[in-house]
Structure 1
């Protein structure tokens, strides 16, 4: 019997289980949705049903590398307490190692990979049941380096991979550490997205026009602010964190090196976190009563 995408979607919404597990269980139950839900509840896979839509913005970043190949993975949970749990840490490390050793391109494909007779999705579901929180593998990215490779982790929350043309491992690690601290958008001016630059230029122009100065002076003010902005967001333009008297660009130049590329992950970046006010919650309940 052919299992449709709509069936898989409905089962996933009702149980919170992964796509591959939903399809597998529907196949085993001949497409019977209620039987599939019951089977998943019995196996513990549906214990994530109440947790799947909860915000998971904590967790950890894991890095795995071998030779010139490396991967960085972000795995999320709901609290930093679970983020430091040994079971969660082991699952995160396992995900990184599997991603490093596979050729998958998406999180969905990664979760379908099998380790010790279980898919990563099955391991994730069991972990949810054990720790009592929503757990999600959010993203991963690989780096293949022909030159010098550097990695840096700031605790469990920030991870950086960087590849250099020239230089050595010590320099690569220093640059990775700088990227972790200073959050550059890209390597140099040539990589700055045009829409980002246009947006900043429009803001600077509006601010400069309020000064009432002549047009030629305004243009100089805008260009000066653009140069300062580019120095702030580009890796080579930023003051080096370990020696602010020189830029990262000058540091690289002194070693005859350049940056081939970098990846920076920070736990929870871009995830909208729910903020709760306990006093307001109590007042709302009192008013409702």
Structure 2
């Protein structure tokens, strides 16, 4: 029997887009014949996944899962919202989220991990899903937050079913207190984050480049007023404080009463907010613009 080398497996993966385990199996079944292995994968529907890999996938689901002292969130994309309502796809997203909860948020590690209940990896299961459903799918991102004392609460806006939806939030709260009380506070903060889309936890965490751009724009706007530099500097600092109130979670106005600051709400609870993460499905992915006329013409064979 021919030796199944790493180079041979790599060549087959590049030709087909199939997963490593699937490529090894194909080469084993075909005694190392590369072209025969391609055909073997095609008959199994696995090579077809490669043809779909370039198509834009901006729909899908966000999944959240939690355990004692930690929680995970994963975004898995597909091409259409229809697939997000498929039970098999929902099971896949929920399972991948559990994998992330167990091993962390490194995507390569998640893809290489065993898919629950199978002898395949997560990456191979994804390829099988693509071949079965007929749409490109990607595991886009994952995040795991942990606390030493407290809770990591989860919130899913307009959940399709428990733990699955299109806008998910993780909130890490460190401190003593009853679990249910901390969980409720975390969920309330999660609702706030889902609504306000903060960019940083506190002022120290604001992206320096983004802050510098904001300061430059505000300075130019202030100079247009013709006021002295000393006055301009005060105007800019005042507007920077306003900027912080827009993008910094702890400086934002609490949406639940429209007057308190999030910082004050957390302080009153006697805990520390140590982190948060917000995933909105498909954010940042450039979606193709539908051309209805072209679609009709293609359907009619024009």
TM-score normalised by L of structure 2? 0.85
Query: Which structure 1 segments of 5+ residues have no match?
Result: none
* Aligned residue in 2 for 1:112: 112
Is 1:142 the counterpart of 2:149? The answer is no
Task: Say if 1:148 and 1:35 are closer, same or farther in 2 by CA, change over 3 A.
Answer: same
* Aligned residue in 2 for 1:173: 187
Is 1:51 the counterpart of 2:39? The answer is no
SS at match of 1:244: coil
Measure the CA separation in 2 of the matches of 1:203 and 1:283: 47
Query: Which structure 2 segments of 5+ residues have no match?
Result: 160-164
Task: Say if 1:170 and 1:117 are closer, same or farther in 2 by CA, change over 3 A.
Answer: closer
Task: Say if 1:195 and 1:19 are closer, same or farther in 2 by CA, change over 3 A.
Answer: farther
Report the CA distance between 1:3 and its aligned residue: 2.0
Could you give the per-residue CA deviations for residues 89-132 of structure 1, whole angstroms, max 9, x where no partner exists?
0111111122222x365323322322323322232222222322
Measure the CA separation in 1 of the matches of 2:134 and 2:259: 49
Task: Say if 1:240 and 1:86 are closer, same or farther in 2 by CA, change over 3 A.
Answer: same
**Counterpart mapping for 1:11-26 below 5 A:** 11-22=12-23, 25-26=26-27
* Aligned residue in 2 for 1:73: 74
Could you give the per-residue CA deviations for residues 150-203 of structure 1, whole angstroms, max 9, x where no partner exists?
110113111111111236221111111111111111111011121111111111
* Aligned residue in 2 for 1:128: 130
Measure the CA separation in 1 of the matches of 2:104 and 2:189: 28
Measure the CA separation in 1 of the matches of 2:22 and 2:106: 16
Is 1:164 the counterpart of 2:173? The answer is yes
Is 1:192 the counterpart of 2:206? The answer is yes
2:49, 2:127 within 8 Å by CA — same for their partners in 1? Answer: yes
Measure the CA separation in 2 of the matches of 1:30 and 1:227: 68
Task: Say if 1:160 and 1:104 are closer, same or farther in 2 by CA, change over 3 A.
Answer: closer
